Amino acid sequence: MNTNTMKWLLKREFWEHKGSMFWAPLIVGSLLVVLLGCTITFGIMQHGIPAHVTINGHTLDHARLDQILPDETKLMVAKIASGMYLGAAAPLFAILVGVVFFYCLGALYDERRDRSILFWKSLPVSDPMTVLSKAITAMVVAPAITLAAAVVASLALLFIVCMVLSTQGLNLFAPVLASSELYLSPLRLAALLPVYVVWALPTVGWLMLVSSWAKSKPFLWAVGVPVVALVILKWINAALENFSGQTLLLAHYASDVVARILGGIVPGIWFTFKPGLQTGMHPTENGFDMGGLVSQSYQSLVGIDAWIGVAMGVAMLVAAVRMRRWRDEG
| pLDDT tens track for 80-112 | 788 788 888 899 999 999 999 999 999 989 888
Q: So what's the pLDDT on residue 251?
A: 64
- The residues near 321 (Cβ < 8 Å, ≥ 6 apart) are 127, 128, 131
SS3 85: helix
pLDDT of 153: 95
Single pTM value for the model: 0.85
pLDDT confidence of residue 328 = 46
199: buried, middle or exposed (CB in 10 Å: 19+, 13-18, 0-12)? buried
| Residues of the chain scoring pLDDT < 50 | 53, 55-56, 58-63, 280, 285-287, 328-330
Task: Give 22's DSSP letter.
Answer: I
Of 85, 34, 300, which Cα lies nearest the Cα of 189?
85
**What is the per-residue pLDDT for 329?**
46
pLDDT for position 290: 63
Q: What is the pLDDT of residue 194?
A: 95
* Per-residue confidence (pLDDT) for residue 236, from 0 to 100: 81
pLDDT of residue 266: 95
